[in-house]
Amino acid sequence: MASPLASTGGAEVLVASNRGPVSYEVRAADPAGALHVKRGGGGLVSGLSAIGPDANAVWVCAALGDGDREAVRRAAGGRLPAADTGGQQVRMLDIDADVFSDAYNGVANSVLWFVHHMLYQTPLEPVFDAEFRRRWASYQAYNRAFAEALAEEAGEGAVVVVQDYHLALAPRMLRRLRPDLRIGHFSHTPWAPPDYFRLLPDDIAAELLSGILGADHAAFLTRRWADAFVDCCHAVLGPGIPSSSDTRIGVHGLGADADFLRKRAHEPDVDERMRALREEIGGADRRTIVRVDRTELSKNIVRGLLAYRQLLDDHPEWRERVVHVAFAYPSRQDLAVYRDYTAEVQRVADEINSAYGTAGWTPVVLHVKDDFARSLAAYRLADVALVNPIRDGMNLVAKEIPVVSDEGCALVLSREAGAYEELGEDAVVVNPYDIGGTAEALARALAMPAGERAERCKRLAAAATALPPAAWFLEQLGALGG
Ligand code: F6P
């Protein structure tokens, strides 16, 4: 066992995640080599702000690209300038680019993501060969870099909340370095059931579970994923684990940030995009089926399009009277399978438009360039929200659209999304693989009487905002006595 380190930093609360709250771009055109900083949003960012500027908190994250690496080189001890981070203390780790790529693309996104979302086409994949073992060594090194940085930054008895599948090994590594710390791990993904999790080589399955069990508290977005984790522990580590370990299992269902969303959704840039979108939709009485996703394999965008096509076949009365507004924003384009999937989304959308479109009606309005203001505009215009993932940790879009939609929307929701646990009762629920069933659900949602739609939407919004990001984050700290 590694020898415990004495505390050298003084942080009382630490967050660790692969993606940090800021990212940098080198502006090629700028001769002075100026860095352009972009601040991200999301649950963790608003969660961390809940503990206030006086709290001594440090966020440890990885440099993801060249801009980030350059920023770390310019920053003393990897601590980013406060002016860039809105005052937050952020330590960014410049992990060797090849090690990072093997850990992030080669293991986290190509293996762990695929296992937890059950995305493999199993006749040919996965293949756990020597190349995989080489990448696994990088995943270990990447987790070690986080554990060492956290051990350095944390004050005596500090609370550390480690986020997600990128960092499954870090809790145990950190525990070895700093037994005094209170450590939590939070999984933002689903957790695979044992039969699927055990596609992984046995030693690696055990290492991942034991890594998380190095934490005092292992938390998930829903009870279903927490139960699957416990089932995997039983199957891989033995029937007494985790009950005989010191790790408590928790569930904290991250909700939507109603105050922020409602305010942001009524700013002038959103109004402007609503006007543009209305023009693209055409026809004042046309209904909208809205979806907004990263172009992520698990989001099931292609089957969503196929179900929409089926709707137009089975219910021709909806032709010219509905538009599918689909925003599919770029994600993980370093992986060939994501690039292929993106092309397939575009191809199927084009096919529907050329087969069914008329002079005054484009059945699918597809946008692929990320634009948050335009997403909010679509949320406001939504009559029906389509959220049909194959499998999803939570799916915040399912929670956000009912909060923002102007007239109240109907929600067509996959039973495989974490959000189903909280929203299922007022949604029109679908099996995400069933195209005919999804088409019928869309028809039902479109035909839902306005009064029922508004009532359901009100209840959906209430359930969606039950645990806003700040409260969700404080719950994680509270579970560790922080
Ligand atoms: O769902 C897990 C998660 O880490 C989310 O928190 C996040 O939205 C998504 O994956 C982003 O992935 P990436 O950082 O690879 O773009």
Classify residue 5: in a domain, yes or no. no
Query: Which residues are bridge partners to 93 per DSSP?
Result: 62
What distances in angstroms separate CA 209 from CA 215, 223, 255, one per listed residue? 11, 17, 26
Please count the structural domains in the chain. Answer: 2
Q: For ligand 1, what atom is nearest to the CA of residue 104?
A: 15
Considering the domain architecture, whether residues 35 and 139 belong to the same structural domain is answered as: yes
Considering the domain architecture, whether residues 354 and 445 belong to the same structural domain is answered as: yes
| C-alpha of residue 375 to centroid of ligand 1, in Å | 18
Tell me if 164 CB under 6 Å of ligand 1: yes
Considering the domain architecture, whether residues 295 and 392 belong to the same structural domain is answered as: yes
Considering the domain architecture, whether residues 240 and 355 belong to the same structural domain is answered as: no
pLDDT tens digits along 37-88: 998 877 787 777 777 767 899 999 999 999 999 999 999 888 999 999 988 9
Q: Taking Cα atoms as reference points, which of 277, 273, 297 lies closest to residue 286?
A: 277
Classify residue 309: in a domain, yes or no. yes
The pLDDT-based confidence of 100 (bands split at 50, 70, 90) is very high
Considering the domain architecture, whether residues 220 and 290 belong to the same structural domain is answered as: no
Classify residue 4: in a domain, yes or no. no
Considering the domain architecture, whether residues 326 and 420 belong to the same structural domain is answered as: yes
Classify residue 6: in a domain, yes or no. no
Considering the domain architecture, whether residues 193 and 245 belong to the same structural domain is answered as: yes
Taking CB atoms within 8 Å and a gap of at least 24, the contacts of 247-250 are 247/212, 247/213, 247/214, 247/215, 247/216, 247/217, 247/218, 248/216, 248/217, 248/218, 248/479, 249/217, 249/218, 249/219, 249/220, 250/217, 250/218, 250/219, 250/220, 250/226, 250/475, 250/476, 250/479
Sign of CA dihedral 417, 242, 211, 154: positive
Considering the domain architecture, whether residues 324 and 432 belong to the same structural domain is answered as: yes
pLDDT tens digits along 166-191: 999 999 999 999 999 999 999 999 99
Q: Taking Cα atoms as reference points, which of 236, 167, 163 lies closest to residue 195?
A: 236
- Range scoring the smallest mean pLDDT among 77-86, 213-222, 271-280: 77-86
Q: For ligand 1, what atom is nearest to the CA of residue 64?
A: 14
Check residue 118 and give its pLDDT: 98
Classify residue 334: in a domain, yes or no. yes
**Average pLDDT estimate for 461-480:** 96
Tell me if 335 CB under 6 Å of ligand 1: no
Considering the domain architecture, whether residues 94 and 135 belong to the same structural domain is answered as: yes
| Pocket mutation for ligand 1, best pick of 17, 19, 114 (most atoms within 8 Å of C-beta) | 19
| C-alpha of residue 437 to centroid of ligand 1, in Å | 29
The residue range of the domain holding 204 is 11-254+471-479
Percent of the chain surpassing pLDDT 70: 98
- The backbone torsions φ and ψ at residue 71, rounded to the nearest 5 degrees and listed phi first, read -60, -40
Classify residue 203: in a domain, yes or no. yes
Classify residue 223: in a domain, yes or no. yes
Check residue 5 and give its pLDDT: 54
Considering the domain architecture, whether residues 307 and 344 belong to the same structural domain is answered as: yes
Considering the domain architecture, whether residues 55 and 190 belong to the same structural domain is answered as: yes
Tell me if 64 CB under 6 Å of ligand 1: no
Tell me if 19 CB under 6 Å of ligand 1: yes
**Average pLDDT estimate for 368-391:** 97
Check residue 4 and give its pLDDT: 54
Burial 24-50 (b: 16+ CB within 10 A, else e): bbbeeeeeeeebebeeeeebbbbbbbe
Classify residue 222: in a domain, yes or no. yes
Considering the domain architecture, whether residues 248 and 357 belong to the same structural domain is answered as: no
Residue 30 clears pLDDT 60, i.e. is over it: yes
